[in-house]
Amino acid sequence: MSANVVGIDIGTAGVRAVEVAAGKNKASVVRFHQVPLPEGAVNRGEVVEPNTVASALKQLWSTGGFKSKNVVLGMGNHRVLSRDLTVPRASLAHIRESLPFQVQDMLPIPLDEALLDFYPVAEGDGESGPVVTGLLIAAVKDAVKGNVKAVELAGLLPLDVDLIPFALTRVLNMGDSIPGTVAQVDVGAATTSIVITTDGVPQFVRLIPAGGNDVTHALVETLGLTPEEADRLKRTLGMRLPAADPDVSVENDIAENSTDAPVIDERAAVSLIRDVSGELLSSVRNTANYFTNTRQTSVTRIVLTGGGSRLPGFAEGLAELTRLTVASAEISRMVSYGRSVKADELRGSQGAFLVALGLALGSAA
């Protein structure tokens, strides 16, 4: 059996995978590839049509040349929650076994419908002896089962299911960890995850059921555009006001070859994009403020990942609202590459493969 591991990122619009080979000193990326998914096959990170996703995975393995069938999946949507938890100090295996007895009053769902895990952060002394503080992670079973089923239908072997924010933290903190207290914000199509780390160690996780697709849907419903037209308009204008005469409505180039092309008031479109995106920006700011107020530790900067964060003006708007430095994440130079891997192409993917890479690295380690 191959020792290589493949991280699979199942998104709303496509499936991405990265295959990693474990080495003596560090893991090496040996393959990466992505294929699109038809609309409706995946909803907010959950597989709705397992057979469709399984077919896409088979295509991904065929066209991407993946050799290993050992895979790690990622979960990170509104059906996964995180809570602070302090437990008596014990082995991690014992802590995990005791979770159902420790957290039954903390969850909004019945215990028999949840999958539980614990991420230790620090050790200390409590009133009754040594304790471990950390993060309780709980996921709705049905949300995980659909993704696992699609992978198994594709003939793959799921080794583990990891939390997407942790996978991103793993990649961003390869080599030297990001110093200070940093908010890592990943804006996906339907979910935005925020993980706040201190010197590379996760301290707080929040999953927001909002993402880049909310802007597209608003443009479709308000301006009467097709999803394709709305997506292109979003990527062209973003949150930045056009330089054109504000009193002139212009026919946008999104449908320049159509005789029925709608006349788009670009300033009205930008105003709508700002309104929708502004809600997400406020949620990120409020999360950072909540952490600061409850932990007495200030967030010093924000690191952005995810396709939704590439909306023109999004990073600038977040920096203005939070008064923090906002930077885009890049794949670490600490990653090594196999001979056939086009490293520049992977680095130039604007972070599209960060989640899949982080998932693979966790198992490879």
Please provide residue 227's backbone torsions phi and psi, each rounded to the nearest 5 degrees.
-55, -35
For tokens 């403020």, what's the residue? 289
At residue 340, the 3 state secondary structure works out as coil
- For CA atoms 222, 224, 230, 234, give the dihedral sign: negative
Question: What tens digit of pLDDT does each residue of 120-154 get?
Answer: 998 999 888 999 999 999 999 998 999 999 999 99
Q: CA 42 → CA 47, 49, 139, 147, distances in Å?
A: 4, 7, 17, 9
How much is the pLDDT for 76? 87
Domain with CATH 3.30.1490.300 in the chain: 80-140
Per-residue b/e over 184-219, b at no fewer than 16 CB within 10 Å? bbbbbbbbbbbbbbbebebbbbbbbebbbbbbbebb
At residue 51, the 3 state secondary structure works out as helix
How much is the pLDDT for 23? 67
How much is the pLDDT for 328? 85
Fold of 177-244+264-331: Nucleotidyltransferase; domain 5 (3.30.420)
As a whole number of angstroms, the distance between CA 35 and CA 37 comes to 7
User: Bridge-partner residues for 80, per DSSP?
Assistant: 139
pLDDT < 50 regions, the chain: 1, 244-259
Beta strands (DSSP E) in 127-187 are 129-140, 157-163, 181-187
- CATH architecture of the region 80-140: 2-Layer Sandwich (3.30)
**Cα–Cα nearest to 330, from 314, 349, 309, 316:** 349
How much is the pLDDT for 284? 97
User: Bridge-partner residues for 114, per DSSP?
Assistant: 140
At residue 343, the 3 state secondary structure works out as helix
54: Cβ contacts below 8 Å, ≥ 6 apart: 150, 151, 153, 154
